[in-house]
Chain A
Amino acid sequence: MLKLLCPYCGVEADETELVSGGEAHLKREGPESSDEEFEEYLFLRDNPKGIIFERWRHAMGCGKWFHVARCTETMEVFGTYPAQTYKPPTKVLQEIKARRH
């Protein structure tokens, strides 16, 4: 069972209160992009064994989207953060580094 802290409500939400939104921090390719780039943006997703950045929605709660850094192998959660960002915040990256060395 996965429990994630919603950065908006401060509620420790259970997996069943959330909806998964897939990989986070995708770069949206526009009309100038090549077919390969657009295909990558639209269809191709990483499926790592290890650290992953994901989007989740607090569907049975405040209804907001947020991001999660977690590990698919050990199920540890490194941190959650609001979705209004292009890259993971330094605090979360430091947390990952601290636990992986």
Chain B
Amino acid sequence: MAESPAMGTPSLKLSDNTGMVLFRGELKSKTLQEGLFEVTKVKVPAKGRINSLDGLSIAWMSPDELLIFLPLGDVGKLIDALDDKLEGEETLIWDVSDLRSVFQIEGHFIREVLAKNSPADLNRDKMRRGTFRRTRFGQVAVAFWFKEETCWFLICRRSEAGYIQRLFEVSTQEGEIPSFY
């Protein structure tokens, strides 16, 4: 094997410039889907997926909930635009940037580190590009997805970010990373 767990220890860093907007509503509604697409230029994702384009992503959280990621400075503009576009529709649009933390994980063997701490199926055929998996990491609820095999993202409650950071450090100590995938 060309790579060994020792050489590519993944690192975790807070991505503080990411804003998050929670969107709740009847996701099957054509009006909502079209309104969201017009404002964000990103299609409403299918079950368990995340769609991204030009720094904006929409993730599927539950049958009535989406989470929109975008640069922190654009949050206000997006909320106003959505409110205008979907006026009269039954929706909840809420800035949750201060409620959650986004981590960017870079390096090799990220799958292994996540698999050590989460019951999610991280096999390459199940956890693919565009899969948005809500699960747990250690004892707290998280969701993760990846852009590249060496660049993953993880969200958690902001109050639990310290726990995630410490657990991640412990699980990536020398000799602690297995080679599953």
Which residues of A approach B to under 8 Å, CB–CB? 8-14, 16-17, 59-64
Q: Which residue of B lies closest to A64 (CB)?
A: B62
Asked if A10 and B119 sit within 8 Å, CB to CB, the answer is no
Interface of A is mostly: loop
A62 to B141 Cα, complex, angstroms: 11
Of the candidates A8, A16, A17, A61, the one having the most CB atoms from chain B within 10 angstroms of its own CB is: A61
Chain B residues with CB under 8 Å of A10's CB are 47-48
A16 to B120 Cα, complex, angstroms: 10
If A8-B62, A17-B119 touch, whether A60 touches B133 (CB-CB below 8 Å) is no
- B110 on the A face (CB < 8 A): no
Asked if A61 and B47 sit within 8 Å, CB to CB, the answer is no
Asked if A9 and B136 sit within 8 Å, CB to CB, the answer is no
Asked if B135 and A61 sit within 8 Å, CB to CB, the answer is yes
Chain B residues with CB under 8 Å of A12's CB are 121
B64 to chain A, nearest CB (A): 9
Asked if A62 and B62 sit within 8 Å, CB to CB, the answer is yes
Asked if A9 and B62 sit within 8 Å, CB to CB, the answer is yes
If A9-B62, A59-B141, A60-B141 touch, whether A17 touches B135 (CB-CB below 8 Å) is yes
A14 to B141 Cα, complex, angstroms: 13
**Of B119, B121, B134, the contact of A9 (CB 8 Å cutoff):** B134
Q: List 11 A-B contacts (CB under 8 A).
A: A8-B62, A9-B47, A11-B48, A12-B121, A17-B135, A17-B136, A59-B141, A61-B62, A62-B63, A62-B65, A64-B63
A-contact bits for B33-75, CB 8 A (1 contact / 0 none): 0000000000000011000000000000111010000000000
Q: Which residue of A lies closest to B136 (CB)?
A: A60
A52 to B61 Cα, complex, angstroms: 29
